[in-house]
Amino acid sequence: MDAGADRIVLTIQDAGRTLVQVNDNGSGMSANDARMCFERHATSKITNADDLFALRTKGFRGEAMASIAAIAHVELRTCLHDDPIGTRIYIEGSRVVAHEPCQTAKGTSIAVKNLFFNVPARRNFLKSDVVEFRNIMDEFHRVALAHPGLSFSLYHNAEEVYVLKPGNLRQRIVGLFGPAFNEKLVPVQENTSLVRLSGFVGKPEFARKSRGEQFFFANDRYIRSTYLSHAVQSAYEDLLPEKSHAAYFLFMEVDPTWIDINIHPTKTEVKFGDEKALYAILRSSVRQALGQYNIAPSLDFDQETIFNMPSAPRTDVLQTHRPEIQRSTSVATHTATASAPMRQHAEPADWQALYDVLRGHAPDSPEAGPEAPRVVQSRMDLAEDTDRRPVQVHGHLIMASIRSGIMLIDMRRALERVTYERLISSLALNEPPAQQQLFPVQFELRPSEAALLNSLTDDIRLLGIDISSLGQGSYAVNGIAAHIPEADVVQLVAEILADHSETNGNTGNQTREKLARTMALRAAQRSVRPMATIELQGLIDELFGCDMPYSTPGGRPTLITIGLDELGRRFQ
């Protein structure tokens, strides 16, 4: 960009291990500058000392080129627009092998091959190809967003990933993150004496659990700032669910003398002259933008809300519902049985049968005998009174009576533990539990997400989601397991990818176990619903049939017990 290029092509092989090549059509370099750019502390972007206090260039030459040349094979081809021939320099491990004239296109081409060829120990510490390519994609996004008026292309292993044409910022965001982003954006614009603020923020309804598309730019340079991120987050106060994060693409134009970009080697952490004032401007601007587009909550004082209640039709009859004091056991059992889903294998509907077996008494059932179905014994000493059925409290808790007091079970956590152990069993048997769909569900992913999904497809299939690639970032869900809600399968896949976007590249059993935990957690959150008594009993039986019924895979407790002594003390 500093060389005036308007077309930049990035070519990658094997996530950068084999090749990282950058081609541009900028001004190029002379033969002397081409050689000097590999020397330490060398730069052609500063003409006088005052430039050090008003930096607007991207930097990069000097230490970076010398460091790259020390651990790779580097080939540089460059040509000035007015020269008939260019210059070629080839370096291996800081040793100049060739420095000669050559025929090349106008501009500059730099190819970095065989990374860490002379430092094999360092090469072993590279992450997986998925992680390394994602790092490259992150940097590509930052540069492409900062310069929407330039053309950018990215190719990985001879496959086209991005071909971005010049346009405005909204077009660039849509080109990078997909057409669905167009409806998610709210423009932000504010001009003050300190800063000129522009860009877009995401609508609250499209917030995600992970910090994904969040970008700050200062003078067209990507920066990180926890302090300013908090300003944007506070602008969404009362608009976002807990632990959710909205996307934003915000550009700040400030006086170069008011910003210090040299406090960190990567130049991503900066220091502003007055961060408190910038915090206030940023927060109020984002809040105002959300309010202008009728997203922030507002009050209408010209209307009495009490008179806006919809009136019932005249034919309706108001009925007073009285709580049922006593209900027939046969009717309750029949209703619960009709609403309960089919279970995988037969289990006793009454816990007390477990104690009859332990006492040596045969249960009064025509199925008793050597051919009776296998019974999963509960590990809790449930109360002997068969009329004390478990009840669902506040929608997500199960209260059950035990001989020593009462037991409270968190339904979400219980379902998470049960689902997790089902998934682990599927992995051990290597048998996908997915049921084929009559109409496959199709969805699209961005290139970075597609690369991650391709590496996880086999493991996800074993866990109950059969996914196939349709090409060009499109996928189809051909089958899902019974414990996964069909309506939420695409969102579940998105959350799995979000949870694994920060993975350190672990493979094998560690990756599968993490996938099972994520899938169990997400599926359990969507499976909590009002349940009949027989379903509550079945969930408790399944929970205590698990190897670790007392905690979730993440270590959180699934249940608590309150003893009779403690209950007695509460009433003293």
Is the separation of the CB atoms in 359 and 365 below 8 Å? no
Report pLDDT for 337: 40
Backbone phi and psi for residue 474, each to the nearest 5 degrees, phi listed first: -100, 140
Report pLDDT for 229: 92
Does pTM surpass 0.85? no
- Residue-range domain boundaries for the chain: 7-164, 176-292, 343-377, 381-572
DSSP-derived letter for residue 80 is: -
The two three-digit tokens of residue 402, written as one number = 């035990």
Is the separation of the CB atoms in 475 and 468 below 8 Å? yes
Which residues are bridge partners to 247 per DSSP?
Answer: none
Q: For residues 166 and 515, what is the distance between their CA atoms, to the nearest angstrom? A: 39
Is the separation of the CB atoms in 43 and 70 below 8 Å? no
- Chain position carrying tokens 């019924």: 549
Give burial (CB, 10 Å; 0-12/13-18/19+) of 454: middle
Report pLDDT for 324: 42
How big is the chain by its Cα radius of gyration, in Å? 32
Going residue by residue through the chain (572 aa), what tens digit of pLDDT does each one get?
A: 889 999 999 999 999 999 999 999 999 999 999 999 898 888 777 777 777 777 777 766 567 889 999 999 999 999 999 999 999 999 999 999 999 999 999 999 999 999 999 999 998 889 888 889 989 999 999 999 999 999 999 999 999 999 999 999 999 999 999 888 889 999 999 999 999 999 999 998 888 877 878 999 999 989 998 899 999 999 998 888 878 889 999 999 998 888 887 777 777 888 888 889 999 999 999 999 998 876 544 444 344 433 344 444 444 443 444 444 344 333 333 333 433 443 344 444 454 554 444 444 444 444 444 444 344 444 444 444 445 689 998 888 999 988 888 999 999 999 999 988 888 887 777 766 667 877 888 888 888 788 888 888 888 887 888 898 888 788 998 888 876 777 778 888 887 887 776 555 455 567 778 888 888 887 787 777 888 889 899 899 999 999 889 999 888 999 999 999 888 888 88
Handedness of CA 148, 149, 150, 156 (dihedral sign): positive
| Residue 457: C-alpha distances to residues 451, 470, 518 (Å) | 10, 13, 15
Say which CATH architecture domain 176-292 belongs to: 2-Layer Sandwich (3.30)
The two three-digit tokens of residue 273, written as one number = 């002259």
Q: For residues 515 and 14, what is the distance between their CA atoms, to the nearest angstrom? A: 25
- Using DSSP bridges, classify how beta strands 107-113 and 151-156 pair: parallel, antiparallel or unpaired: unpaired
Q: Which amino acid is at 351?
A: W
Q: For residues 453 and 456, what is the distance between their CA atoms, to the nearest angstrom? A: 5
Residue 152: in which H helix or E strand, if any?
Answer: strand 151-156
Which residues are bridge partners to 476 per DSSP?
Answer: 442, 468
Spatial CB neighbours of 492, under 8 Å, sequence gap ≥ 6: 465, 484, 519, 522, 523, 526
Backbone phi and psi for residue 439, each to the nearest 5 degrees, phi listed first: -125, 100
What is the DSSP secondary-structure string of 281-328?
Answer: HHHHHHHHHHHHTT-S----TTS-GGGGSPPPPTT---------S---
Is the separation of the CB atoms in 7 and 24 below 8 Å? yes
Q: Show the 3-state SS of 237-287.
A: CCCCCCCCECCEEEEEECCHHHEECCCCCCCCECEECCHHHHHHHHHHHHH
Q: For residues 73 and 91, what is the distance between their CA atoms, to the nearest angstrom? A: 6
What is the separation of C-alpha 145 from the centre of its chain, rounded to a whole number of angstroms?
20
Say which CATH architecture domain 381-572 belongs to: 2-Layer Sandwich (3.30)
Spatial CB neighbours of 53, under 8 Å, sequence gap ≥ 6: 256, 257
Spatial CB neighbours of 145, under 8 Å, sequence gap ≥ 6: 169, 172, 173, 176, 215, 217, 222, 249
Q: For residues 147 and 168, what is the distance between their CA atoms, to the nearest angstrom? A: 9
Is the separation of the CB atoms in 404 and 564 below 8 Å? yes
The two three-digit tokens of residue 299, written as one number = 């009050």
- Chain position carrying tokens 């009454």: 350
| Residue 232: C-alpha distances to residues 91, 108, 126, 251, 393 (Å) | 46, 39, 34, 13, 38
Domain 7-164 has CATH 3.30.565.10: yes
What is the separation of C-alpha 313 from the centre of its chain, rounded to a whole number of angstroms?
47
Q: For residues 513 and 502, what is the distance between their CA atoms, to the nearest angstrom? A: 16
Question: How many CA atoms are closer than 13 Å to the CA of 169, on its beta-carbon side?
Answer: 19
What is the DSSP secondary-structure string of 337-353?
Answer: HHHSPPPSS---S-THH
DSSP-derived letter for residue 366 is: T
Give burial (CB, 10 Å; 0-12/13-18/19+) of 530: exposed
Report pLDDT for 494: 83
Q: For residues 79 and 294, what is the distance between their CA atoms, to the nearest angstrom? A: 54
Closest alpha carbon to 499 in 480, 525, 479 = 525
